């Protein structure tokens, strides 16, 4: 086998003669180098461009993203549950405020049209954009906290107002006022008068109401019954303590309808008109005592 090598630098060709075994060896070596290069290149390309490798990589990425989305959904649901709980608590507070407001409106005898707790308050007015203010997402938790504080503050204020109104109404209920009988007329006033038995001047400590026997005697104020027995000169007597130093006395009754320790309301029947004790006929002797001293009942009857 002849191999001719051309040399451009020398400008001539050289000829080599290879025997058959040597030529075969060289050819096999070249072929082996070419096949090894092709095999290595194929393996490298298969590793870098294999579809299965890309699928595995993208699958791992998608799984990680799915786990992140599930965690975000759980966190969002927890926040929504917390907000729903807060809204429910605030709704309960608002319901209590509405009920308290309606109760105060009735207690204070206010016009229901002026304070209507069954509808939202009317508001309005032109809007003016604040220059430089940026629109931002509201912090719902902070807003709910602030609103809850306002509601609790209003609830405390209304509770104090209710207590004040109740105290005022209670004071009105326990101070004697009005007529102590449902039937009858005033037959004798408070002060100096001629005694009906002796004809002499004597001090009359109360007011007499002449009326039909058996007519109702009523309490002129709320209080606690402290006496329901016979008293010398008074006959069957009822005494009621109203607090603040006030005591009312109802005498000459035919029958007593209450017992010691009973709590009575203003206008509640406590006895029936009679003529027991030092009496000339069916009537009620009514006294008002303040700090243990008899005062003119007419001042309270006119209320």
pTM for the model? 0.49
Which residues, listed in sequence order, are joined to residue 13 by a DSSP beta bridge?
A: 6
Which residues, listed in sequence order, are joined to residue 256 by a DSSP beta bridge?
A: 271
Res 137: pLDDT: 46
Ranges of residues in the chain with a pLDDT under 50 are 134-137
List the Cα angle 112/221/190 in 5-degree steps: 130
Res 62: pLDDT: 82
Q: Are 255 and 156 in contact (CB under 8 A)?
A: no
Res 132: pLDDT: 56
CA distance 235 to 256: 11
Q: Are 216 and 264 in contact (CB under 8 A)?
A: no
Q: In sequence order, which residues have a C-beta less than 8 Å from that of residue 270 and are 6 or more positions away?
A: 217, 218, 219, 225, 238, 240, 250, 256, 257, 258, 264
CA distance 129 to 133: 8
Q: Are 204 and 285 in contact (CB under 8 A)?
A: no
Continuous H helices in the chain = 20-48, 51-107, 140-174, 298-301
199 conformational bin, left if phi > 0, alpha if psi -120 to 50, beta if neither:
left
Res 224: pLDDT: 93
Q: Is 165 exposed, middle or buried (0-12, 13-18, 19+ CB in 10 A)?
A: middle
Could you report the per-residue pLDDT of 247-301, keeping only the tens digit for each? 999 999 999 999 999 999 999 999 999 999 999 999 999 999 999 999 999 988 8
SS3 content of the chain, % helix, strand, coil (to 5): 40, 25, 35
Res 123: pLDDT: 60
């Amino acid at each position: 086998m002849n191999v001719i090598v051309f040399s451009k630098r020398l400008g001539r060709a050289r000829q080599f003669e290879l025997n058959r075994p040597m030529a075969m060896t060289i050819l096999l070596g070249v072929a082996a180098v070419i096949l090894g290069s092709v095999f290595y290149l194929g393996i490298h390309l298969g590793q870098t461009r294999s579809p299965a490798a890309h699928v595995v990589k993208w699958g791992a990425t998608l799984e990680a993203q799915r786990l992140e989305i599930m965690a975000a959904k759980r966190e969002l649901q927890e926040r929504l549950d917390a907000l729903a709980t807060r809204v429910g608590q605030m709704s309960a507070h608002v319901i209590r405020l509405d009920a308290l407001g309606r109760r105060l409106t009735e207690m204070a005898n206010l016009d229901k049209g002026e304070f209507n707790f069954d509808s939202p308050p009317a508001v309005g007015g032109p809007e003016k954009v604040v220059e430089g203010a940026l629109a931002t997402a509201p912090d719902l938790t902070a807003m709910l906290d602030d609103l809850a504080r306002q509601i609790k503050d209003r609830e405390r204020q209304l509770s104090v107002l209710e207590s004040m109104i109740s105290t005022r109404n209670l004071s009105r209920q326990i101070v004697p006022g009005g007529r102590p009988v449902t039937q009858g007329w005033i037959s004798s006033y408070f002060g100096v008068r001629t005694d009906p038995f002796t004809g002499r001047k004597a001090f009359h400590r109360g007011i007499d109401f002449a009326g039909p026997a058996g007519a109702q005697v009523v309490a002129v104020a709320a209080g606690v019954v402290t006496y329901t027995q016979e008293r010398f000169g008074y006959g069957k007597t009822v005494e009621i303590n109203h607090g603040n130093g006030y005591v009312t006395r109802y005498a000459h009754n035919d029958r007593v309808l209450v017992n010691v320790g009973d709590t009575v309301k203003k206008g509640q029947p406590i006895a029936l008109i009679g003529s027991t004790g030092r009496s000339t006929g069916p009537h009620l002797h009514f006294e008002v005592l303040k700090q243990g001293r008899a005062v003119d009942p007419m001042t309270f009857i006119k209320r």
